[in-house]
Structure 1
Amino acid sequence: MTQESGSIVAGFDGSDEAAAAVRWAARCAHATNSSLHVVHCSLWPLLTRHLGPVPGVSGSGLEQSARSILEDGVAVAAAEVPGLQVRSTLLHGLPAQLLAEISAGERMLVVGSRGLGGFLGLLVGSVSLELAATATCPVAVIRPELHPDGPVVIAVDASGSPAALDDACALASAWQAPLKVVHVRHEPAGYQLPEGRDAADAREVLASALNRATAKAPLVRVDGEVLADTSVPHAILKAAGEARMVVVGSQGRGILRETIGSTAHAVLHHARGPVLISRHGG
């Protein structure tokens, strides 16, 4: 997101969730003066060789069906933002792998969430989760609860999360939306941390992030807050309840390759509104 060039790539599979993501991506492309690239990934070539039309049945066949889905995605974008520059690509294979490849170096990848409908509170599908861990550009996962007048909320860790903060600043500036910067002090359950060195360090982290944010987004209102909670993701989600977008960094210390940090993982799973996972590079 921090780069000035590149398209916004939107994955589309024909579902209602994907249509909502394409509409969001179209509006975001318009706000950021970007082009939109709608992509559909067809799995059928992995399952069968019979992709052609049924003899005597016009417009039939699995390949034609895939093309029709892609055309529907383009139509959704065009209806949402008339005149927007939109191109489309039909790919064949596994969606997570192909979307990660085609979005490399682009401004943003946007996908819908096709989770388990609230089962155990987990609202993100496997493709979205894999992309959040493997893509090399920021990944926006769009949820049904949209707050177009809400702030952009960015959670910074002890490092200040500079890349994620820059992404949040870029979105807030494009939307002319307020920006809220939060840093969470982790408090062990049943134990309240004293106002000592740890509290001073947290305030310093926040102050540094606010200085960077006001420099990067001088035309928007920037607020900040140090939060304390037994769960860092819980504090972020509570702060982002009415957010237009919540932005988190992707770095963690997981033991597996191609994973995201535990905080980003939890926020992505439980957020009710759009989440941007700030990914850059390999």
Structure 2
Amino acid sequence: MAGLVVVGVDGSASGLAAVAAAAREAQTRGASLRVVHAFMWPMMHVPLGGSPLGPAEGGLRSMADRLVAEAVERARETAPGVDVSHAVVTGEPLTVLETQSREAELVVVGSRGMGGFVGLLVGSTAVHLAAHGQCPVLVVRDEPAVDGPVVVGVDGSEPGERAVEFAFAEAALRKAPLVAVHAWNTWNAPLPPPQHTSEPYANPPGTLSGEEERLLSEALAGHRERYPDVVVEHRVVRGRTREVLIEASRSAQLVVVGARGRGGFQGLLLGSVSQALLHHAHSPLAVVRAADADD
């Protein structure tokens, strides 16, 4: 059975960019595409039809149908061979898209929608869906790049394992190189065991850096065997994770992170790194939750 990619649309330029990206994702995956618009007005008891004095095609329901039709046309122009369906679903966007994510392998949204406030870099729907979606969530900027490497942030955590798998699969689908980035500093790196019992805190210079190199290699090992055609570059960088990944996103076609890493506080659905990248990454961002993540 073919997979399903879902894209949320609201009539914004960012939403149409997400449609094109979602159509390409569906094409490379051999999946179908569903264009979904969350129609909130019935919940607010607002008249949906046109004014008696206006044109027959006026009204909120007709407007919703037109913006979905425009999105479907964009999808078919971008990826003519993809099976495209559409739905106008009553509800607020987060609830509608979270429900859709339960049967999708990927949900795609624009970074900002029609309801965004001037000055915000990312909309609330993108942030909340990244935290609550039941499948990976791809957040697209207005003009996503189609070249450059796939970049994945690796921290060695169990929740991050699924993000690494997703990044390898994306690199293989896109026929792109993969840049695996592990950023560390003395605050987020575990202390190596002491080398001498007489000097419990003494370790040779470079021990900490070497441990971080080993962590990255071990995190990638099994995936490299499953994706032998993916060219992988290792980057172990001393620095703050969010700043390192934001800089790496400048030349990337996609950045992939886990929703939470090894430094996250219990109960948080999104870690500080994924939140920072949602707001400041220069490329599209995929946020991948752990398989057993709870809402």
Normalised to the residue count of structure 2, the TM-score between the two structures is 0.85
Q: Counterpart in 2 of 1:243?
A: 252
Greater mean alpha carbon deviation, residues 134-143 or residues 102-111: 102-111
Q: Counterpart in 2 of 1:142?
A: 140
**SS at 1:31 equivalent:** helix
1:159–1:205 Cα contact (<8 Å) kept: no
204, 218, 242: which one aligns with 2:228: 218
2:13–2:142 Cα contact (<8 Å) kept: no
Tell me, yes or no, if structure 1 residue 272 matches structure 2 residue 276. Answer: no
Q: How far apart, in 2, do the equivalents of 1:265 and 1:49 lie?
A: 34
Q: How far apart, in 2, do the equivalents of 1:240 and 1:216 lie?
A: 25
- Specify the code of the residue in structure 1 equivalent to 2:78: E
**1:50-129 correspondence to structure 2 within 5 Å:** 50-55=47-52, 57-114=55-112, 119=119, 123-129=121-127
1:256 CA displacement: 5.4
**SS at 2:26 equivalent:** helix
Greater mean alpha carbon deviation, residues 135-144 or residues 65-74: 65-74
Q: How far apart, in 2, do the equivalents of 1:153 and 1:145 lie?
A: 18
Q: How far apart, in 1, do the equivalents of 2:5 and 2:243 lie?
A: 30
- Specify the code of the residue in structure 2 equivalent to 1:207: S
Q: How far apart, in 2, do the equivalents of 1:146 and 1:54 lie?
A: 39
Q: How far apart, in 2, do the equivalents of 1:18 and 1:96 lie?
A: 15
Q: Counterpart in 1 of 2:272?
A: 262
1:248 CA displacement: 0.2
Larger radius of gyration: 2
**1:156-195 correspondence to structure 2 within 5 Å:** 156-159=154-157, 161-187=160-186, 195=205
1:187 CA displacement: 4.3
Tell me, yes or no, if structure 1 residue 14 matches structure 2 residue 23. Answer: no
Q: Counterpart in 1 of 2:195?
A: none
Q: How far apart, in 2, do the equivalents of 1:279 and 1:158 lie?
A: 15
1:37 CA displacement: 0.7
Greater mean alpha carbon deviation, residues 202-211 or residues 16-25: 202-211
Q: % of aligned pairs identical?
A: 36
Can you list the C-alpha shifts for 1:148-197, whole angstroms capped at 9, x where unaligned? Answer: 22000001113262100110011100010001111111246xxxx98444
Aligned residues: 270
Q: Which runs of 5+ in 1 are unaligned?
A: none
**SS at 2:251 equivalent:** coil
1:41–1:93 Cα contact (<8 Å) kept: yes
Q: Counterpart in 2 of 1:31?
A: 28
1:243 CA displacement: 0.5
